[in-house]
């Protein structure tokens, strides 16, 4: 019977190399593994089996929406809703519509990249079980954390602690779910 | 070993740092270090100028644009000169943070954060200027397309409309890019802070960032995409600003060289401002290990490249005036060199063409004093260049009956000085409140350096 109030078992490492080796090992044993680092460690996300990075697709969609939206807005307002004949110039004067279309393409893509990043990362989320783990304030400084989550089927805290303890960590701790 | 080779061997990070020591070193500027007298003196001067800005704007709103020297035919004068100058200054920040990231220039790591802050504050000053210049500033939102009870839409064929979109997009994208890079460092400050209010403030701003490896992976790709978007954006912004001029048929404005000429000028003034800020900052906060002679040298070289492009543009303008055989263009060129604003023209040549040639010398680039002086001279020169383009083109256009010599009033000067003070005050506050150097990226740089040594 898994402990419902357990988030997972955390191990603290002193270097990214130690963390990376531990992640590779733990991925063979456990289903759901997380890692927390003070900077982007090369190859760590790959080692965690992270493949579904949705940010580029969302950014592309934002750019397309921004660009098409800007062009349609200009076309509709200049041709349909408010046509002005200025010296017989064409109403649909597309070259003049390009600058605003370009700018709003960039704006749409940038907004999508920023907010897509936040939504996919589940941020803002000010409280999280890992924050209660001792030393976790060093995860934004000089320590590297690995978490084997308790939500996977067949999770056994004692076994997990034994495996993590064999990987030469600084320490191993249990992370509790946040009290509500 | 020659000076040149010695400088090339200067690392972008001096000394040996670990993740922990580099974090403490940068975070302590915000959290622990007592206030330096240099900072207080600068904050007092810029605070006084900020008050002057408030007074100048209040008086403007009370009396109208008649308090400035603008009149027909010189309707643009100081406000638009300030606008173009401030937007241009912003460009180097984006160039450093976005363009150099795409080119994998790792020396940018310790200067990108403050350069981005410089961009945001400069563009904020720029955005104010056209609104102040409107005369009826409370109607500025009429430029934004929205369904309204007047049944009107903006004039999409006007470059002034393109400007709204270019500047609006630029400030929003710069802010997002800057904030995105800050989130992880805000989490560091949250975890380092000892005072409760600091923990709460940085904690809220960090959005609960916990350094999850998957979050980092998404962050890396979003940050790179943002850089890829910001790079063409920054080129477009000053191109659009230049079209405000080039689309008009005023002699001196109606020229196809304007977009690249303006972008080069923007980067020129931007690198000058980045050096103006970096040199005192690294001294006051003792950051010489992070912002090294190599950084200053690289920025000086980029400034020299921009100087050469700008010089070429000046020469092309003169050549094209005579090659076109357009009598108004020729008259405008002669007026610039010999007319009432001749001192402005020759000051521009001195500041932007002649003085920066000293940067060919490695000794000049290695001396912070001479670099600082040249940067100030270029700042002044680029402001005068925008003044020259606007005022000396407008003051004598076609018919002599409409000629008029413009002279600034006290309030013109107060608005310029006030905007400089406000910019400086914002920057000084930024340095004390947020990490002026990207901590997360510096950890990586320090680790790679140690790995290369091992």
Q: Residue written as tokens 């608005």?
A: B415
CB–CB contacts below 8 A, A to B: 189
Q: Which residue of B has its CA nearest to A133?
A: B210
Q: Residue written as tokens 């407008």?
A: B394
Which residues on B lie below 8 Å from A92 (Cβ)? none
Q: Is the pLDDT of residue B445 over 90?
A: no
Which residues on B lie below 8 Å from A63 (Cβ)? 229
Q: Is the pLDDT of residue B93 over 50?
A: yes
Q: Is the pLDDT of residue B350 over 90?
A: yes
CB of B438 less than 8 A from some CB of A: no
User: Containing H/E element for A34?
Assistant: strand A33-36
Which residues on A lie below 8 Å from B179 (Cβ)? 114
- At B2, is the pLDDT very low, low, confident or very high (cuts 50, 70, 90)? very low
d(CA B75, CA B73): 6
Q: Which residue has the higher pLDDT, B445 or B234?
A: B234
Best of B116, B191, B201, B222 to disrupt the A interface by mutation (most A CBs within 10 Å)? B222
Tens digit of each residue's pLDDT (9 = 90 or more) over B138-165: 988 888 888 888 888 888 888 889 999 9
Cβ contact B128:B419 at 8 Å: yes
In sequence order, what DSSP letters do the residues of B143-194 get, joined into one string? Answer: GS----TT-----TTSHHHHHHHHHHHHHHHHHHHHHHHHHHHHHHHHHH--
Return all residues near A20 (Cβ < 8 A) that are at least 6 apart.
A41, A43, A44, A47
pTM, two decimal places: 0.90
A35 and B212 within 8 Å at the Cβ level: the answer is: yes
A99 and B212 within 8 Å at the Cβ level: the answer is: no
CA distances from A118 to A56, A170, B203, B305, B320 (A): 13, 31, 16, 39, 51
Comparing C-alpha atoms, which of A169, A131, A177 is closest to residue A160?
A169
A50 and B19 within 8 Å at the Cβ level: the answer is: no
| Segment 215-244 of chain B within 8 Å of chain A by CB | 215-222, 225-226, 229-230, 232-233, 236, 240, 243
Query: Measured between CB atoms, which of B211, B217, B229 is closest to A139?
Result: B211
Least confident of A122-136, B54-68, B289-303: A122-136
Tens digit of each residue's pLDDT (9 = 90 or more) over B190-201: 888 888 888 899
Best of A36, A39, A134 to disrupt the B interface by mutation (most B CBs within 10 Å)? A39
- The values of phi and psi at residue B418, to 5°, are -65, -40
Question: What's the CA angle centered on A109, arms A106 and A113, to 5 degrees?
Answer: 135
Tens digit of each residue's pLDDT (9 = 90 or more) over B111-123: 888 889 999 999 9
pLDDT at position A170: 80
In sequence order, what DSSP letters do the residues of B114-139 get, joined into one string? Answer: HHHHHHHHHHHHHHHHHHHHTSSGGG
Tens digit of each residue's pLDDT (9 = 90 or more) over B210-229: 888 889 999 989 999 999 99
The alpha carbon torsion through A107, A112, A118, A119 (nearest 10 deg) reads 150
d(CA B120, CA B124): 6
pLDDT at position A169: 80
B187 and A140 within 8 Å at the Cβ level: the answer is: yes
Query: Measured between CB atoms, which of B179, B208, B225 is closest to A113?
Result: B225
Mean pLDDT score of chain B, rounded to an integer? 88
Tens digit of each residue's pLDDT (9 = 90 or more) over B164-182: 999 999 999 999 999 999 9
Cβ contact B272:B378 at 8 Å: yes
Query: Measured between CB atoms, which of A16, A74, A109 is closest to B229?
Result: A109
pLDDT at position B9: 58
Low-confidence ranges of chain A (pLDDT < 50): 1-2
pLDDT at position A75: 94
| ipTM given for this complex | 0.90
| Segment 54-93 of chain A within 8 Å of chain B by CB | 54-56, 59, 63, 70, 73-74, 77-78, 81-82, 93
Which residues on A lie below 8 Å from B240 (Cβ)? 99, 103
Return all residues near B56 (Cβ < 8 A) that are at least 6 apart.
B411, B414, B415, B418
| Segment 153-212 of chain B within 8 Å of chain A by CB | 153-154, 156-157, 159, 161-162, 165-166, 168-169, 172-173, 176-177, 179-180, 184, 187-188, 190-192, 203-204, 207-212
């Amino acid at each position: 019977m898994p402990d419902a109030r357990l988030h997972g078992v955390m191990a603290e490492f002193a270097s990214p190399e130690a963390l990376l080796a531990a992640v590779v090992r733990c991925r063979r044993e456990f289903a759901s593994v997380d890692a927390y680092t003070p900077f982007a460690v090369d190859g760590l996300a790959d080692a965690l089996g992270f493949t579904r990075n949705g940010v580029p697709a969302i950014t592309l969609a934002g750019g397309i929406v921004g660009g098409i939206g800007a062009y349609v807005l200009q076309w509709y307002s200049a041709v349909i809703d408010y046509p002005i004949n200025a010296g017989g110039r064409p109403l649909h004067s597309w070259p003049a519509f390009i600058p605003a279309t370009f700018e709003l393409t960039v704006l749409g893509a940038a907004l999508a990249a920023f907010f897509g990043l936040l939504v996919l990362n589940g941020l803002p989320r000010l409280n999280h079980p890992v924050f209660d783990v001792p030393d976790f304030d060093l995860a934004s400084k000089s320590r590297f954390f690995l978490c084997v989550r308790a939500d996977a089927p067949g999770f056994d805290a004692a076994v997990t602690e034994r495996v993590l303890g064999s990987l030469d960590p600084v320490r191993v701790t249990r992370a509790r779910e946040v009290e509500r | 070993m020659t000076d040149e080779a010695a400088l090339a061997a200067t690392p972008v990070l001096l000394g040996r740092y670990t993740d922990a020591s580099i974090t403490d070193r940068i975070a302590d500027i915000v959290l622990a270090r007592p206030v330096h007298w240099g900072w207080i003196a600068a904050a007092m001067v810029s605070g006084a100028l900020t008050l002057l800005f408030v007074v100048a704007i209040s008086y403007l709103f009370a009396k109208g644009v008649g308090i400035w020297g603008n009149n027909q035919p010189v309707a643009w004068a100081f406000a638009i000169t300030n606008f173009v100058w401030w937007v241009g200054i912003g460009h180097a920040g984006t160039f450093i943070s976005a363009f150099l990231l795409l080119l994998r220039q790792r020396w940018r790591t310790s200067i990108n954060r403050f350069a981005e802050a410089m961009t945001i504050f400069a563009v904020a000053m720029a955005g104010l200027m056209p609104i102040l210049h409107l005369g009826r500033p409370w109607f500025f939102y009429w430029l934004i397309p929205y369904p309204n009870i007047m049944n009107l839409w903006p004039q999409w064929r006007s470059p002034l409309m393109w400007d709204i979109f270019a500047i609006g997009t630029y400030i929003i994208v710069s802010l997002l890019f800057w904030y995105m890079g800050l989130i992880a460092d805000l989490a560091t400050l949250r975890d380092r802070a000892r005072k409760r209010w600091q923990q709460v403030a940085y904690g809220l701003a960090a959005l609960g960032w916990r350094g999850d490896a998957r979050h980092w992976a998404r962050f890396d790709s979003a940050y790179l995409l943002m850089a890829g978007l910001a790079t063409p954006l920054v080129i477009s912004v000053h191109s659009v600003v230049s079209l405000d001029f080039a689309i008009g048929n005023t002699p001196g404005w109606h020229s196809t060289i304007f977009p690249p000429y303006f972008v080069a000028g923007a980067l020129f003034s931007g690198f000058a401002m980045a050096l103006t800020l970096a040199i005192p900052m690294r001294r006051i906060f003792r950051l010489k290990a992070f912002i090294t002679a190599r950084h200053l040298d690289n920025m000086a070289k980029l400034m020299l490249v921009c100087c050469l492009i700008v010089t070429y543009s000046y020469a092309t303008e003169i050549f094209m005036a005579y090659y076109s055989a357009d009598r108004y263009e020729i008259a405008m060129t002669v007026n610039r060199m010999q007319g009432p604003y001749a001192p402005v023209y020759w000051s521009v040549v001195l500041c932007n063409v002649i003085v920066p040639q000293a940067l060919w010398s490695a000794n000049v680039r290695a001396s912070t004093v001479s670099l600082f002086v040249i940067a100030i001279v270029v700042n002044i020169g680029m402001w005068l260049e925008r003044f020259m383009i606007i005022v000396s083109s407008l003051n004598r256009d076609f018919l002599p009956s409409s000629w008029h010599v413009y002279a600034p009033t006290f309030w013109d000067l107060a608005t310029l000085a006030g905007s400089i003070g406000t910019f400086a005050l914002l920057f000084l506050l930024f340095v004390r409140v947020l990490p002026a150097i990207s901590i997360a990226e510096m950890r990586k740089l320090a680790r790679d350096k140690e790995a290369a040594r091992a």
